[in-house]
Structure 1
Amino acid sequence: MGAILMTFFSWIKKQLQMITPTIRSDRRKRRSRHPDYHQKKKLTPENNFESDQTDTQQTNQSKTNDTLKNEDDSLNAFQNTASFEIQSQVIFTYLDENDRQISSSDIIRGVVGESIQFKLPDFSDYYLTSIENFTHKFEKSDQEVTLRFALKDGLPIMIYCLDTDTGQILKSVQIISGKLGQSYTVNAPKINDFRVISSTGPTFGHFDHQTHGVIFAYRRTHWETVQPVEYFVKLKDAHDVYDSPQGRSLKTGLPAKIIIKIFARIDLSDKSSWLNIGGFEWIKNSNLEPSDPPIHNLIDTITKTSRNPARLAGTIDYVSNKAIAVFDKPYGNKINALIHGSRVSISATIVDDQNLIWYELNGNGVVPKMYVIVDRS
């Protein structure tokens, strides 16, 4: 009986051991679900969501703090760098005398405190007159520099007044000038006893980079017609020689029966007529007749001349600013001319059969004696 009981209790114990793990397992489950109040609070769904939010916020906050810290570090680094390299600019403006802009402005940028590297532009038609607000370094605030220019002068216009018949300059050369591009108009100067018959060159236009010449041709008011001619005449009587038609009589004249060449004829308003015999020498168109060119001598009555060697010096005495003709021999061909006041050396005197005396100029032609003042010994 006792043995049976022992066996029964062993069986029951065995059964209990088999059941216990199941009970403990459920208890562990309960405990795992509800270990204590704080653990229970953490394990609720709401608290799980809040916990996730908190963790996310903490993470985001941490990231934000890191970002702000990085930005602060970058800003500090920029400020530290910028404090040494602050940029500014200078505007260069180009104006003329009338405050008109002659070119677009230049803008130069640089670091404050550094020198400005600037090259003045080349405006070919202008020159610099002044600089306003001049600066040579970049400042903390932007600056504006104004450069003022003036237009250059164009090259001048030269005005000449010539006697078209004699080639004489009637008036000193006039010069007019003005700014490049400025317009001009040239009028012929008024000269007493002369009238303008023509002009050569631009009498109106604009000043530019070239010199222009304007020539006004004048003729004496009382000269009606001027004709270039070329023929020979034979003088019937002796003729006085003049420095111009109706002008001053020269010291010597021409003998009768001489054959001379005529180069021009002028008819005056008083109906008189004058003939040019070369240079500034004129005779009246009277007491003469047309002639063939001379074959040997211009004067058929001259048969001989006498030559006497001499060693003299003198000065040509004619008309101021005018020249006399130099001939190859008495009454011969013109080979040269000598202006009034020229110095000459005389190698011989020549006398013709009309008692006219000529001076031989060191073998370089002859001139009439009356046109030379011989130096006194």
Structure 2
Amino acid sequence: MGKKHIHQHFSHNGEKTTMENDVLSPKIKKIARDDVEIKIHYVDSLGKDIIKPATIKGHYLDKLDIPWQEIPGYVLSSVTNFQQTFIPNDDGIYLVYASQLSAPVIVYHRNTNGNLIADPQYLEGELNQKFNSKPLEEANHFLVHAPKHAKGQFTDKVQEQEYIYNVLPIKDVKIKDNLYIEVRDNVDVFSKPTSKVPLDKELPYGTTWKVYRAVEETYNHTIWYNLGGNTWVPSGKKISTQLINRISPSQEVLNSPLDETASNISYTYSVIDNMTVNRSVKILYYSDQYITAWKTPYGDMDNQRYRGDQTVLVKKLVQLDNYSVWAQLDDGYYVESKYLNL
């Protein structure tokens, strides 16, 4: 029989050692130290992907920096399979995000006196989404102050920004004495220029009204026409302006409105109804406010004024064909009935 060959080896101290071959045990695996891959998942509370997963690679046991992401409309709520070093992980790391609404960004536009020159703007978007506020385009050349950070991100808290313009809200516009507006559709009426809240009654379609004063909004060039007292309408597609010449000086005064024609009531309207009243009533205004007296309905205003809460005697009520109702007082002047507690 042949002899069994024994390989002899010497240890570091000179002692003989033996092994049947030099092959390492198959149970020992060599780990590649430069190709550990970890998959990062960005999911919602139901485990569905919100954005595309990311794969990061690093050396074995090196520090692992998770690529956190800000996702609009979501906030990070938890992490599954968290690890700080590159250790093989077939499942990957799961970043779980919860859906969350953001708060608005409110943008104010004011003049140097602190008064708003436009409605506040409400910017809305998803949580962490970027926003960019801007000044009013029509008033940009009046801008004297802008917020330090016009750009930002929506958060869960309300944010406010302010633009300031060196501009007066309105300026007077010179008009002719015989300027009128013609109403092409029902038009809202306001108690003062730039007001956003209309009065209860509208100007009816097809009517014509005398203009006593006009002002212009300096930042958007809207013109407001005063139709007497605290009655204003803004320019727009529903109205047009025209010049109407007076026929005679006799139109200044109405001796008896029940017998007059359209030409000497308002140059446009005629009386369609009337009622004798002879009753004392009060002016529906605060005591520090006044309403205008008219020589004739829609005719000329007078310097005469009636103070709020003042008691006056109404002789007659006159309804014109534009459905406005006027009260003739005992001193001969007229006021619109809406200012009285009839």
- TM-score, normalized by the shorter chain, greater than 0.5: no
Q: TM (normalized to structure 1)?
A: 0.37
**Rg: which structure is higher?**
1
Q: TM (normalized to structure 2)?
A: 0.40
Q: More strand per residue: 1 or 2?
A: 1
Q: More helix per residue: 1 or 2?
A: 1
Higher relative contact order (CA 8 A, sep 6+): 2
